[in-house]
C-alpha cells in the first residue's frame, strides 16, 4: 500500500492546500488593512489597491486555471498556483513600499484556483463512494482557512512586525507545495482542445472593468464618469466575448453548457452565497471591535482584533463539522434539496444576529450558524455542477462557479462598506457605524439568502448524488 494513494491522505492534503489558499486570500490583511497607508507611506486610496490587485488576478485566474487544468492536468495547475503563492508571499514579506507589495499580492491571487481544481481532482482520483464526502470536506477548507486564520492573522501583528504575516504564508505555501507534490497523483482525465488566448484576454478585460467598478465605485462615485465608463466597457466586451466564445471550437468557457438551467441557476446561487459568506466575515468582527460608549454607542462591544477573531474562529470548525453531514444529505436527499437547506440555514444565521446583536457570544452564534449552512450548501452546489457537466470539463465548470462566488464576495465588500459608511456616530473625532447600519447589512444578508432559496427552487430537480458520472472509479489503493 503506497502512502501516496491513500484516499484520506489525498483529501487531507488538498484540504490543507485549500485552507492555505483561503487564508491568504480572505483574512491575511484584515487586521492591518487600516494601517497599510502608514506602513507603505502612501494614501489610503492607493493602499486599497493591495486588496483590489488580488481580487482582479483571482477572478481572471479562476476560469483560466480551470480550463488549463482540464487541458494539461489538475495537479500541475495546483502546483503552479502554490508555487506562485510561495513566490508572491516572499515578495510581500520583503516589501516596504506599495509597488512590490502590489506585485506580491497579485501573485497570491492566482492561488484561488486551488479549491475548485482540487475538487475536480478528487473526483478523478478517488473511489466513487468517497467523492461526496471528499467534496464536502474540500469545500469546508474555504471557511476553515478564513475563520480560523483570522485570529492567527490578528495575533501576529500584535507581537511581531507585520511582514511576519507573509513569512508565515510563505511557510504554509511551502508546506502545501511539498505535500501536494509528494502525496497527490495526477488525474488521468484530459480534455482535447487548445488554449483560447483571445477568449482569455476578452474575459480578463471584462472582469477587470467589472471588479474595478464594484471595488472602487464608492471612491470614484457610483455615478461618476469612470465608474459608468467601466461598466459600459464591461458590457460591450462581454457581448463581444460571448459572441466569440459561441463560435470558438475550443472556448475558454463553454457558454452552451453554462447556459443549462441547472448550471446557470447554481452559478447565480453561488454569487449570493459568496455575498453572504464575506458579508458575515467582514461585518461581524468589525461590530465586535466598535467601542462601547454608554448613551452614544450602546451596540459597541470593545473587543480587540485578536478577541474578535477568536470569537469568529468556531465558525470554521462548524463548517468542517457539517461537511460529512452535507455528504450524507446529498446522498439521501439529493444536491438540490441539500443546497436549499444549507442556504436557508445561512440566512437564519443572519436573521439571528438581526434580532440578537448585543453580546459577542450572540455574534459568534450567528456567524457559526451561517458557516454551518455554508458547510451544507457548498458541497451540494459543487455536486450539482459536477453532475451536470462532462468529466473533461469539471475543472473549468468549477472554476466558473468559483468565479461567480468571487463576484459575490467582491460585491459584498463594496455594499458592506457603503452601507456602514452611510450611518455613523462620531466619538472622540472618530466615526463608527451606527447600530442601524449594522442591522441593514445583516438584513441585506437575509435578503440575499432568501433570493438564493428562491433561485434554488427553480433548479430542475435532481436526486442523484454527485459522484463520478461518466467515468469508472479510479484505481486507488485503500
pLDDT above 70 as % of the chain: 94
pLDDT at 306: 83
Mean pLDDT of the chain: 84
Res 26: pLDDT: 67
Joined together, the cell numbers standing for residue 204 give 480578463
Mean pLDDT of 189-218: 84
**pLDDT at 478 > cutoff 70:** no
- Confidence at 338, pLDDT banded by 50, 70, 90: very high
- Per-residue pLDDT band for 455 (boundaries 50, 70, 90) equals very high
Per-residue pLDDT at 465 exceeds 60 = no
Q: What is the mean pLDDT of residues 136-156?
A: 78
All domains in the chain, ordered by first residue: 3-195+250-457 (1.20.1250.20), 196-249 (no CATH)
Phi (first) and psi of residue 222, to 5 degrees: -65, -25
Residue 69, pLDDT above cutoff 60:
yes
**Which H or E run includes 433?**
strand 430-433
Of 3 and 323, more confident: 323
Q: Over 90: is that where the pLDDT of 87 sits?
A: yes
pLDDT at 473: 38
Per-residue model confidence (pLDDT) at position 168: 93
Q: Which residue has the cell 510563505?
A: 170
Picking from 453, 260, 224, the residue whose alpha carbon sits closest to that of residue 346 is 453
111-125, pLDDT tens digit by residue? 989 988 998 898 888
Separation CA 310–CA 308 (nearest Å)? 5
Q: What angle do CA 149, 150, 154 make, to 5 degrees?
A: 120
Name the band, by pLDDT with cuts 50, 70 and 90, for residue 352: very high
Average pLDDT over residues 239-262: 88
DSSP H helical segments within 73-196, as ranges?
74-93, 98-109, 114-125, 131-159, 164-183
Which stretch of 81-85, 148-152, 198-202, 470-474 has the lowest confidence by average pLDDT?
Answer: 470-474
CA 452 to chain centre: 17
Band (pLDDT 50/70/90 cuts) for residue 461 is low
What pTM does this model have?
A: 0.81
Percent of the chain with pLDDT over 90: 30
pLDDT score recorded for residue 108 = 92
On the question of pLDDT at 444 being above 80, the answer is yes
> What is the average pLDDT across 287-308?
85
Highest mean pLDDT among 323-327, 361-365, 461-465: 361-365
Is residue 466 scored above 60 in pLDDT? no
Amino acid at each position: 500500500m503506497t502512502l501516496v494513494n491513500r484516499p484520506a491522505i489525498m483529501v487531507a492534503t488538498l484540504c490543507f492546500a485549500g485552507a492555505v489558499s483561503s487564508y491568504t486570500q480572505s483574512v491575511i490583511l484584515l487586521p492591518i488593512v487600516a494601517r497599510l497607508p502608514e506602513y507603505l507611506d502612501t494614501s489610503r486610496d492607493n493602499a486599497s489597491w493591495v486588496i483590489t490587485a488580488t481580487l482582479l488576478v483571482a477572478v481572471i485566474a479562476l476560469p483560466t486555471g480551470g480550463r488549463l487544468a482540464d487541458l494539461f492536468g489538475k495537479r500541475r495547475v495546483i502546483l503552479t498556483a502554490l508555487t506562485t503563492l510561495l513566490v508572491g508571499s516572499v515578495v510581500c514579506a520583503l516589501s516596504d513600499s506599495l509597488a512590490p507589495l502590489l506585485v506580491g499580492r497579485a501573485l497570491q491571487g492566482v492561488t484561488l484556483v486551488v479549491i475548485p481544481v482540487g475538487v475536480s481532482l478528487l473526483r478523478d482520483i478517488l473511489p466513487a463512494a468517497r467523492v461526496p464526502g471528499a467534496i464536502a470536506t474540500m469545500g469546508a477548507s474555504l471557511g476553515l482557512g478564513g475563520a480560523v486564520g483570522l485570529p492567527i492573522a490578528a495575533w501576529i501583528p500584535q507581537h511581531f512586525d507585520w511582514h511576519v504575516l507573509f513569512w508565515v504564508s510563505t511557510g504554509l505555501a511551502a508546506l502545501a507545495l511539498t505535500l501536494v507534490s509528494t502525496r497527490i497523483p495526477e488525474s488521468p482525465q484530459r480534455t482535447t482542445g487548445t488554449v483560447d488566448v483571445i477568449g482569455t484576454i476578452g474575459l480578463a478585460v471584462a472582469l477587470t472593468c467589472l471588479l474595478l467598478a464594484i471595488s472602487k465605485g464608492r471612491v470614484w462615485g457610483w455615478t461618476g464618469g469612470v465608474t459608468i465608463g467601466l461598466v459600459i466597457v464591461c458590457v460591450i466586451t462581454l457581448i463581444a466575448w460571448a459572441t466569440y466564445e459561441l463560435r470558438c471550437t475550443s472556448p475558454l468557457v463553454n457558454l452552451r453548457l453554462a447556459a443549462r438551467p441547472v448550471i446557470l441557476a447554481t452559478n447565480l446561487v453561488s454569487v449570493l452565497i459568496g455575498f453572504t459568506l464575506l458579508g458575515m466575515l467582514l461585518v461581524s468582527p468589525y461590530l465586535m471591535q466598535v467601542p462601547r460608549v454608554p448613551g452614544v454607542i450602546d451596540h459597541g462591544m470593545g473587543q480587540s482584533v485578536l478577541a474578535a477573531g477568536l470569537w469568529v474562529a468556531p465558525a470554521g470548525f462548524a463548517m468542517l463539522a457539517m461537511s460529512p453531514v452535507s455528504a450524507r444529505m446529498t446522498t439521501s436527499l439529493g444536491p438540490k434539496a441539500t443546497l436549499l437547506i444549507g442556504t436557508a440555514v445561512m440566512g437564519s444565521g443572519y436573521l439571528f444576529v438581526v434580532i440578537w446583536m448585543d453580546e459577542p457570544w450572540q455574534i459568534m452564534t450567528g456567524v457559526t450558524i451561517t458557516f454551518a449552512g455554508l458547510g451544507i450548501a457548498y458541497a451540494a452546489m459543487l455536486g450539482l455542477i459536477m453532475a451536470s457537466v462532462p468529466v473533461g470539463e469539471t475543472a473549468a465548470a468549477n472554476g466558473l462557479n468559483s468565479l461567480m462566488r468571487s463576484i459575490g464576495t467582491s460585491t459584498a465588500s463594496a455594499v458592506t462598506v457603503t452601507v456602514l459608511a452611510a450611518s455613523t456616530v462620531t466619538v472622540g473625532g472618530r466615526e463608527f457605524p451606527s447600530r442601524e447600519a449594522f442591522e441593514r447589512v445583516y438584513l441585506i444578508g437575509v435578503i440575499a439568502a432568501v433570493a438564493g432559496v428562491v433561485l434554488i427552487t427553480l433548479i430542475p430537480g435532481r436526486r442523484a448524488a454527485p459522484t463520478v458520472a461518466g467515468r469508472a472509479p479510479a484505481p486507488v489503493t485503500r
